[in-house]
A and B are shown apart, each in its own frame.
Chain A
Amino acid sequence: GAVVSQHPSWVICKSGTSVKIECRSLDFQATTMFWYRQFPKQSLMLMATSNEGSKATYEQGVEKDKFLINHASLTLSTLTVTSAHPEDSSFYICSARDWEISNPEAFFGQGTRLTVV
C-alpha cells in the first residue's frame, strides 16, 4: 500500500515556542490530507482537512491561528502548533488518500507525540 511519512515521531518543546510537524505522501499525490489529534485512550479527533493550494478547513472548536496548516505541494502538508502550551501536548496523526485510484483507503503517518513543558 501507499506510504505516508510523518516527522518527527516525537518532540519536546518549551511553552511559548512553535513546533512544525510534516506529513509526506511518499509514492502518491495527495490533494487532500487530514490532521487528527488523539488523547490518551481515546479515538482520533479530526482537526482539519488540508487542501493543496488552498486554505485548510478546520473542524468546529479548533483554533486555526493556533494550528497552522500549510499544504504547499501535492506530497507535503505541515501542521505548526504556535505558541505551544502544556495543554497542546498530545498525539498528532496525519492521513492521506490516494484519489487517483478507486480504492478509498486512507493511509496514516506514524504519528507525532508532542510534549510541551
Chain B
Amino acid sequence: AQSVAQPEDQVNVAEGNPLTVKCTYSVSGNPYLFWYVQYPNRGLQFLLKYITGDNLVKGSYGFEAEFNKSQTSFHLKKPSALVSDSALYFCAAYSGAGSYQLTFGKGTKLSVIP
C-alpha cells in the first residue's frame, strides 16, 4: 500500500526567511508526486508536481520542490516566505500513471510570522 508522510503538523517561519515543508513517500513503481495548498474553507489548489525529468520542480507562487529518490522525499521549499503563504499544505502521490487514487499526507500548517 502506498503512503505519504508529512512529519510536521505545523511549521512556523518568519516573513522573508526560507521555508521548508517536509514530505516522504512510499509507493510501488514510479511515484507521481504533488503539492497542494488549502486556505480556510476552500478546496485544494495545485502548487506543483513531479512526474519525471529534473529533480527540482518549480511551481506556483515561487514554490519549488526537490525529488530525492534515494531518500524517498519531496520537500516543498520557498526562498523567502510571505505572510500570505500561511495555509495548510498537502503532499500527495499516485503510484504511476495507471493508478487512480491519490494518497494524501496528513497536512502541514504553515504559519508565516510578520
Contact = CB atoms under 8 A, between A and B. Distances in A.
Interface of A: 1, 4, 6, 9-10, 32, 34, 41-44, 46, 49, 91, 93, 95, 97, 102-111, 113
Contacts of B106: 42-43
Interface of chain A: mostly helix, strand, loop or mixed: strand
Contacts of B102: 34, 95, 106
Given A103-B51, A104-B51, A108-B44, 19 more contacts: A34-B101, A34-B102, A41-B107, A42-B106, A43-B104, A43-B106, A43-B107, A44-B44, A46-B101, A95-B102, A97-B100, A102-B97, A104-B32, A106-B92, A106-B102, A107-B46, A108-B36, A108-B45, A109-B43
Contacts of A10: 41
Contact of A49 (B45, B90, B101, B109): B101
Interface of B: 32, 34, 36, 41-46, 49, 51, 90, 92, 94, 97, 100-102, 104-107, 109
B100 A44 contact: no
Residue among B34, B94, B102 with the most chain A CB within 10 A?
A: B102
Nearest 7 interchain pairs by C-beta: A108-B43, A108-B44, A111-B43, A43-B106, A110-B43, A43-B107, A43-B104
